Amino acid sequence: MDQNKSRREFLAAGVLTTMAVACSSNHSPFPADDIEASGEKVKLLSVDGDVIEVDKAYLKPLPHMPSVSNDEARKGMPGKKFVMVIDLSRCKNVKACQVACNHAHHVQDAQNWIKVYPMQDAQHTAPYWQPTTCMHCDEPPCVKVCPVDATFKRQDGIVLIDSERCIGCRFCMAACPYSTRVFNWGEPDLPVDIADKPYNPETSLPQKKGTVGKCDFCPDMTRMGMLPHCVSACPNGVYFFGDMNEDSVTNGSETFRFSDLIREKAGYRLMEDLGTKPSVYYLPPVNRNFKFEEGLDTEDSTQKS
């Protein structure tokens, strides 16, 4: 395992590309001359393709990159194959992943896209907590049954939903063996600035009444060189995300070779025998960081709320 490879190295290409766009646009990263230098240097990519160092104090907040077109959102990022690894030995049922996902996508509590289940494999085995997301299968049954091409699979492995096409038939929900999709029975409670935007498959916003929603692997974050919200929010490093083609996954503070991590930690996929070929892998709950009972308080408070 390559534990010394930093998150910055893992995401360097995305960060430098983003900075290059900022420097070459009308949004100059350099503010007025009256700013006092901090002494802390930051590396940027100049418009000429050179890596330069500037003082951090002279950087303006980077404007959010414009949304990609629907066609680009459906194609995905070329040369990528995104994958997630969930380490069950680290999960304490904090549900910070769920909260972050709900907040980012304006998902109501009863419609959680990430669910954390209490699991027990047999009568005499110890229970554990299992976070469950959309599996972003390589052979997704949800895509095969959708009659209007609303659910689609991209070239980078991510499975998304186009709510502009979704007719609410719920065939995809019936076909999904992992039960990770939810149906918007009512009108979503959205801020006006979100509700008035055109639908974007990469942010899954705004959700619409009578359509299906699910985990989307946060491709809008990935385009900016950042990790999905669930990965960044987890305080225990349960989630690893990365590119299988680069053979690298990270939780933000630790980075591993994907192949080594899966092989040495006996990684597996749920319901492997179905042939869906999920892009989400699990590491078994051995040598656990927390006792199962430590997560019960979170479970009780969630059920009461």
The predicted-structure confidence for 49-87, as pLDDT tens digits, reads as follows 677 888 877 776 555 555 788 899 999 999 999 999 999
pLDDT band at 240 (very low <50, low <70, confident <90, very high): very high
pLDDT band at 7 (very low <50, low <70, confident <90, very high): very low
Do 132 and 117 form a contact (C-beta atoms < 8 A)?
yes
Q: Looking at residues 193-205, what average pLDDT do you find?
A: 93
In this model, does residue 35 exceed pLDDT 80?
A: no
Mean pLDDT of the chain: 87
In this model, does residue 36 exceed pLDDT 50?
A: yes
In this model, does residue 26 exceed pLDDT 70?
A: no
Do 281 and 85 form a contact (C-beta atoms < 8 A)?
yes
Tell me: the pLDDT tens digits for 109-160?
A: 789 999 999 999 998 999 999 999 999 999 999 999 999 999 999 999 999 9
In this model, does residue 46 exceed pLDDT 80?
A: no
Query: What's the token pair of residue 131?
Result: 């976070």
Q: Looking at residues 23-31, what average pLDDT do you find?
A: 43
Q: Comparing 1-10, 233-242, 292-301, which segment has the lowest mean pLDDT? A: 1-10
Q: Looking at residues 248-267, what average pLDDT do you find?
A: 97
Selected residue with higher pLDDT from 282 and 10: 282
Question: Could you give the C-alpha distances from 15 to 86, 176, 187, 221, 297, in angstroms and in order?
Answer: 25, 35, 37, 11, 39
The string of DSSP codes covering the chain is --TT--HHHHHHHHHHHHHHHHHHSSS-S---TTPPP-S-EEEEE-TTS-EEEEEGGGPPPPPPPPPPPHHHHHH--TT--EEEEEEGGG-----HHHHHHHHHHT--GGG-SSEEEEE-SSTTSPPEEEEE-----SS-HHHHH-TTS-EEE-TTS-EEE-TTT-----HHHHH-TT---EE--S-----HHHHTSPPBTTTTBS--TTSEE-----HHHHHTT---HHHHH-TT--EEEEEGGGTEEE-SS-EEEHHHHHHHTT-B-TTGGG----SEEEE---S-SS-GGGGHHHHHHHHH-
Selected residue with higher pLDDT from 201 and 32: 201
**Which of 191, 204, 137 lies closest to 164, judged by CA?**
204
What local confidence, expressed as pLDDT, does residue 153 receive? 98
In this model, does residue 227 exceed pLDDT 70?
A: yes
pLDDT band at 108 (very low <50, low <70, confident <90, very high): confident
Tell me: the pLDDT tens digits for 164-182?
A: 999 999 999 999 999 999 9
The string of DSSP codes covering 205-274 is BS--TTSEE-----HHHHHTT---HHHHH-TT--EEEEEGGGTEEE-SS-EEEHHHHHHHTT-B-TTGGG
In this model, does residue 10 exceed pLDDT 50?
A: no
Q: Which fold has domain 82-296?
A: Alpha-Beta Plaits (3.30.70)
Tell me the domain boundaries of the chain.
Answer: 7-58, 82-296
